[in-house]
């Protein structure tokens, strides 16, 4: 999609006097920066009143960047509305979960159902496309910014009623789907539906370990549908801006920056409307590198494993987390190559020059407040830019995986909405526990939606597949019958798409496939554990939840050793057709989960990227029969270079690799 690796980031010359602009161009050239994302939050400047538009300053910015041969990522500015819009149309402001209508301020501040917002946002996008759409330096359109925030206003309530009627057709179907007989909630008309927030169906549950309050719900059916509705509503506003751009520019790719595992929006659905996926990567100081890699793979996965854009990362430190640590020397470079290794064709920063005020003044930048290139951060940025300027052949290379890992926003919402069995049960953490094993073994993984084609995979992993929607059980059965290996476990097969329980015993429609019946689910408090013993004598512990299982054709691989259900199965294996299903009935400690997954991958003859065991992250992209190996050390200790790479050439530094130890953050790129 791009002719070179885009290297740059968010740039706001409008925040600075003109004499700074030319100095920026000089400094950026030293860093080999070739792209700039502009106009992200300029709506108030571009449209100072309802019928007035001002493009002079933006014209100058685009002219300057075009002369410098930049790839311009042109944003539509619609993520923060101007003050005059609030003043004239106060209904454009969103209403939060507590029922409070917000005034002018902050960002992501609009109601997605507001016809006023929709009209002016689309109009602005169209005017920008009309003016700049034929500029060959405009390489990508960036609609809005980091879509988020649910709204619970009267406009959204009215729109939700229409959405529900379109989906269910009759009020009787709504009552059945949402189980409204419970607590006497029977509805007699669509106008009796109210938004499920803190003033209606919302339940707050305090997690005593984290101190955080979780939003639960008295009626999961309506709350789940509201998540779907809000995701769809936000997507509609994106599509309106996209259509306005396409009226004048039919070719330039259009994106918006996603946020990894952000809970609020169904990114698999959104990706269908994006020409290319882009996202913002901001791990905290203690985020495991395996989780960072998993999120990259998710962003690649939401659009059928196609390469993506890294729209934002910081060159040094964030400003909005609890602890905003500096990136150590070499860390930004290694993190950038990890991003490329997992599918990115761009490396972009927020921000190129550090702001002088407001809440992001301490957010890192290529040019720090000192205003010169004489900083450690700039030197590292420039070194990376020089390397990337020579790596165009990696563009559009693909990742090939034999393991698929299911990720589904409906399950995400439903699992964390349900009341019980444990407040400690969180969706992303459960997915990550399985991903981490494959990451540590350098086994490539594709993150998949539940509607994906599973046929090309040897192993399919579906942790906490709580919600089994129509057609899902049949798809999994077909995969296993044809020789695939499925790994699933506790809290799977419990409910349908409305969070109503599949009757007939857990795991519902997966019961025959798994060859077990889960009679009860025990919840262990955070300080409690259970013992587990495998049939080969291996022992260890389990926590969180324990399914009490009965074998119905499966064989027992491991049993509990404590509690009243000691000696009952904890892990099982069932043959189904030509394939097998592993059922993990509890949260095993890492070494025990690794034992199960090692057995499954060996049975499926899944191959790691290289055969040698190593603590290095080694990731591969492929293009036209050529392999590109990314070799990175994210551990704190120096690690030996695998013998497989001794004698090969590092494309980044141009040197032949001899046997040696790689210090932390060392990164190589090898082609063969």
pLDDT tens, residue by residue, 98-149: 999 999 998 888 999 999 999 999 999 999 999 999 999 999 999 999 999 9
Considering the domain architecture, whether residues 513 and 458 belong to the same structural domain is answered as yes
| pLDDT above 60 (res 208) | no
Consult the annotation and say whether 320 binds a ligand. yes
In which domain, by residue range, is 659 found? Answer: 617-671
Angle CA 559–503–180, to nearest 5: 130
Taking residues 174-181, report their average pLDDT.
97
At 472-495, the pLDDT tens digits run: 999 999 999 999 999 999 999 999
Considering the domain architecture, whether residues 470 and 518 belong to the same structural domain is answered as yes
Helical axes 427-440 vs 590-604, angle rounded to 10°: 60
166, 195, 225: which is the final residue of a domain? 225
Considering the domain architecture, whether residues 381 and 487 belong to the same structural domain is answered as no
Consult the annotation and say whether 141 binds a ligand. no
What is the maximum alpha-carbon separation in the chain? 77
Residue labelled with tokens 């004499």: 19
Considering the domain architecture, whether residues 428 and 549 belong to the same structural domain is answered as yes
Element holding 91 (H helix, E strand): none
In a domain, 610, yes or no: no
Taking residues 222-245, report their average pLDDT.
98
394, 428, 448: which is the final residue of a domain? 394
| pLDDT above 60 (res 61) | yes
Residue labelled with tokens 């890294």: 310
> Both ends of the chain: CA-CA distance in Å?
24
What is the chain's length? 672
Consult the annotation and say whether 227 binds a ligand. no
pLDDT recorded at residue 233: 98
Kindly report the CATH number assigned to the domain that includes residue 438.
Answer: 3.40.50.880
C-alpha pair distances (Å), 187 with each of 220, 366, 608 = 16, 57, 55
Give phi and psi for 412, each to the nearest 5.
-55, -55
Of 157, 241, 312, 402, which is the active-site residue? 312
What is the rounded CA–CA span in Å between residue 444 and residue 630? 12
Residue labelled with tokens 């065991």: 613
Is 312 assigned a catalytic role?
yes
What is the rounded CA–CA span in Å between residue 116 and residue 299? 32
At 503-556, the pLDDT tens digits run: 999 999 999 999 999 999 999 999 999 999 999 999 999 999 999 999 999 999
Do 289 and 331 form a contact (C-beta atoms < 8 A)? no
| DSSP per-residue codes, 493-527 | S-B-TTS-B-SSSBTGGGHHHHTEEEEEEEE--TT
Taking residues 350-371, report their average pLDDT.
94
pLDDT recorded at residue 206: 66
Considering the domain architecture, whether residues 506 and 582 belong to the same structural domain is answered as yes
Considering the domain architecture, whether residues 482 and 558 belong to the same structural domain is answered as yes
pLDDT-derived band at 215 (thresholds 50, 70, 90) equals: confident
Considering the domain architecture, whether residues 377 and 524 belong to the same structural domain is answered as no
* pLDDT cut 90: percent of the chain above it: 97
Taking residues 577-600, report their average pLDDT.
98
pLDDT-derived band at 205 (thresholds 50, 70, 90) equals: confident
pLDDT recorded at residue 209: 59
Name 247's Cβ contacts closer than 8 Å, sequence gap at least 6.
Answer: 126, 129, 130
pLDDT-derived band at 213 (thresholds 50, 70, 90) equals: confident
| DSSP per-residue codes, 234-248 | HHHHHHHHHHHHHTT
341, 373, 394: which is the final residue of a domain? 394
The residues that bridge with 214 in the sheet, in sequence order, are 205
> What's the domain count of the chain?
4
Consult the annotation and say whether 111 binds a ligand. yes
pLDDT-derived band at 230 (thresholds 50, 70, 90) equals: very high
Considering the domain architecture, whether residues 181 and 148 belong to the same structural domain is answered as no
Considering the domain architecture, whether residues 389 and 432 belong to the same structural domain is answered as no
Average pLDDT along the chain: 97
Considering the domain architecture, whether residues 622 and 597 belong to the same structural domain is answered as no
Considering the domain architecture, whether residues 341 and 302 belong to the same structural domain is answered as yes
What is the rounded CA–CA span in Å between residue 584 and residue 594? 12
In a domain, 611, yes or no: no
Do 249 and 133 form a contact (C-beta atoms < 8 A)? yes
Consult the annotation and say whether 100 binds a ligand. no
Kindly report the CATH number assigned to the domain that includes residue 624.
Answer: 2.60.40.1180
In a domain, 211, yes or no: yes
At 9-43, the pLDDT tens digits run: 999 999 999 999 999 999 999 999 999 999 999 99
pLDDT recorded at residue 108: 85
In a domain, 103, yes or no: yes
Residue 310 φ/ψ region, left for φ over 0, alpha for ψ in the -120 to 50 degree band, beta for the rest: beta
What is the rounded CA–CA span in Å between residue 618 and residue 337? 11
In a domain, 413, yes or no: yes
| DSSP per-residue codes, 296-332 | HHHHHHTTTT--EEEEE--SS--SSSSS-PPPPTTHH
Give the tokens for residue 136: 């060959």
Do 584 and 558 form a contact (C-beta atoms < 8 A)? no
Of 141, 125, 16, nearest to 71 by C-alpha is 141
At 431-485, the pLDDT tens digits run: 999 999 999 999 999 999 999 999 999 999 999 999 999 999 999 999 999 999 9
At 295-309, the pLDDT tens digits run: 999 999 999 999 999
Taking residues 398-412, report their average pLDDT.
98
Is 241 assigned a catalytic role?
no
pLDDT recorded at residue 157: 98
What is the rounded CA–CA span in Å between residue 341 and residue 274? 22
Considering the domain architecture, whether residues 158 and 274 belong to the same structural domain is answered as no
Beta-strand relationship, 639-640 and 661-662:
antiparallel
């Amino acid at each position: 999609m791009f002719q070179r690796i885009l290297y740059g980031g968010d740039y706001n010359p409008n925040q600075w006097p003109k004499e700074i602009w030319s100095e920026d161009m000089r400094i950026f050239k030293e860093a080999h920066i070739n792209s700039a994302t502009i106009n992200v939050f300029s709506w108030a400047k571009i449209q100072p009143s309802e019928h007035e538009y001002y493009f002079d300053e933006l014209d100058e910015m685009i002219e300057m960047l075009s002369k410098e041969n930049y790839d311009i990522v042109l944003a539509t500015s619609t993520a923060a509305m101007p003050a005059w819009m609030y003043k004239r149309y106060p209904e454009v402001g969103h209403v939060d979960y507590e029922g409070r209508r917000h005034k002018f301020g902050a960002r992501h501040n609009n109601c997605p159902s507001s016809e006023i917002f929709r009209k002016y946002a689309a109009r602005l996008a169209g005017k920008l496309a009309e003016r700049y759409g034929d500029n060959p330096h405009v390489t990508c359109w960036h609609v809005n910014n980091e879509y988020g925030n649910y709204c619970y206003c009267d406009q959204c309530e009215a729109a939700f009623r229409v959405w529900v009627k379109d989906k269910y057709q009759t009020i009787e179907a709504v009552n059945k789907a949402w189980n409204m007989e419970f607590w006497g909630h029977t509805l007699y008309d669509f106008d009796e539906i109210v938004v499920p927030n803190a003033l209606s169906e919302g339940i707050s549950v305090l997690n005593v370990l984290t101190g955080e309050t979780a939003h639960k719900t008295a009626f999961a059916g309506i709350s789940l549908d509201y998540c779907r509705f809000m995701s769809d509503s936000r997507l509609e506003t994106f599509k309106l801006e996209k259509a306005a751009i396409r009226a004048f520019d039919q070719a330039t790719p259009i994106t918006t920056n996603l946020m990894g595992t952000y809970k609020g929006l169904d990114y698999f659905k959104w990706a269908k409307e994006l020409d290319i996926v882009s996202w913002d990567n901001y791990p905290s100081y203690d985020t495991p590198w395996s989780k960072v890699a998993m999120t990259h793979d998710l962003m690649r996965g939401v659009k059928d494993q196609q390469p993506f854009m890294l729209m934002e990362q910081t060159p040094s430190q964030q400003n909005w987390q609890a602890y905003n640590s500096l990136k150590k020397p070499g860390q930004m470079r290694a993190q950038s190559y990890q991003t490329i290794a997992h599918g990115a064709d761009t490396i972009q920063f927020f921000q190129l020059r550090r702001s002088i005020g407001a809440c992001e003044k301490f957010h890192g930048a290529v040019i720090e407040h000192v205003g010169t290139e004489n900083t450690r951060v700039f030197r590292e940025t420039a070194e990376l830019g020089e390397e990337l300027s020579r790596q165009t052949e990696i563009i559009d290379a693909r990742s090939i995986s034999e393991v698929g890992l299911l990720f589904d926003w409906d399950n995400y919402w439903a699992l964390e909405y349900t009341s019980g069995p444990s407040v400690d049960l969180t969706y992303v953490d459960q997915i990550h526990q399985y991903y981490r094993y494959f990451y540590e073994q350098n086994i490539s993984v594709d993150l998949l939606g539940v509607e994906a084609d599973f046929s090309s995979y040897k192993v399919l992993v579906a942790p906490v597949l709580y919600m089994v929607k129509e057609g899902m059980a049949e798809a999994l059965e077909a995969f296993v019958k044809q020789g695939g290996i499925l790994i699933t476990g506790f809290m799977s097969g419990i409910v349908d798409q409305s969070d109503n329980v599949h009757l007939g015993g857990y795991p519902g429609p997966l019961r025959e496939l798994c060859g077990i019946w889960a009679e009860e689910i025990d919840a262990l408090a955070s300080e409690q554990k259970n013992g587990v013993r495998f049939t080969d004598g291996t022992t260890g512990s389990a926590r969180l939840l324990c399914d009490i299982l009965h074998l119905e054709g499966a064989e027992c691989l491991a049993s509990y050793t404590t509690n009243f259900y000691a000696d009952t199965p904890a892990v099982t294996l069932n043959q189904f057709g030509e394939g097998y299903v592993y059922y993990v009935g509890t949260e095993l400690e890492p070494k025990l989960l690794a034992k199960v997954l090692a057995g499954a991958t060996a049975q499926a003859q899944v191959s790691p990227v290289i055969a040698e065991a190593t603590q290095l992250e080694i990731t591969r992209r492929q293009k036209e029969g050529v392999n590109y190996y990314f070799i990175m050390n994210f551990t704190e200790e120096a690690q030996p270079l695998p013998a497989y790479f001794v004698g090969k050439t590092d494309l980044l530094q141009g040197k032949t690799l001899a046997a040696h130890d790689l210090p932390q953050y060392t990164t190589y790129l090898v082609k063969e």
